[in-house]
Amino acid sequence: MTGAPKPLIFFGTCNLDFCLSVDRLPTRGQSVMGDLIRYPGGKGANQAVAAARLGLAPRLFTKLGDDEAGAILKRALLDAGVQTDAIETVRGANSGTALIIVDGDGGNIIGIESGANQSMSERDIERVASLIGAGALVVAEMGLPNAALERLFALKPDYGFELIFNPAPVRKGLTKAAWRQVDYATPNETEAFDLTGIEVVDLVSAERAAEGLLDLGVRAVIVTLGAQGAFYADDQRRFHVPAFPVKALDTTAAGDAFTGGLAAALARSAPIERAIRYAMAVAALCVTRAGAQSAMPSVETVDAFLASRSLVEPL
């Protein structure tokens, strides 16, 4: 793509991930042995890092505690190339924490303690709204309190930004007025089910779930389907994009890699089909590595991956 990319700003959570690698996930009441590593994570931070590794200069708005974890998380963002001037450190608060268990096939279970993330308010959104540049692309995820999301989405008509919304982890209560501001929603199968009540098991059910979200007023829906790829729907078109076959090591940040990759492509004005294909390449490479932010591939790696398959030209 030619020309300067659109300003890109992410609104979301930032956590320190404690990741335990095990042979198989435990059942209820079972103890398992494994290897523990800590990584910088959090959905908003992961997505911003993904875009930064792809050559963008994204800004992240999040909240950190004034603890050791907060210092580690902010340094990781700076090292990745994320602009951190919108980040607030909350005195006396703990940073967000995630406990993740990953098995030998890349499957995982995750528990999250929100920490400073949960203090995000409508006033905080208004405080940083001036940082949203003209023609910006805004990316938000559902880990933030609903009141903050409602305020951010309500700003869209006045500021004229384009909005990508990753509705994860799913929270109930977001109003239909807020949903009507969403340009692109990016749920996975489980999130699509939680939002619509439609179990997504194939392309037919993915289309039905996407239609349920379109009925809320969303302009376009991209249901990510893991090894089955992704399904796109808007008022005019429906299409399926197959996945890139890879051996998954850790799927923890697959959705964040996809959303960050999609944002990077759309910020460079890529057509939606190409943007989805690009995002799927980012996610495919991510799941072959351990961790969250540490697993996000560089733009050079993604370009080489696509070139080796002779499918998509570099952005």
Q: How far is CA 157 from CA 135, 139, 181, 192, 278, in A?
A: 12, 15, 8, 26, 29
Q: How far is CA 303 from CA 110, 165, 251, 259, 309, in A?
A: 31, 25, 21, 17, 10
Phi, psi (degrees; rounded to nearest 5) at 268: -95, 15
- Annotated catalytic residue within 103, 250, 256, 303: 256
> Is 256 marked active-site?
yes
Active site residues: 256
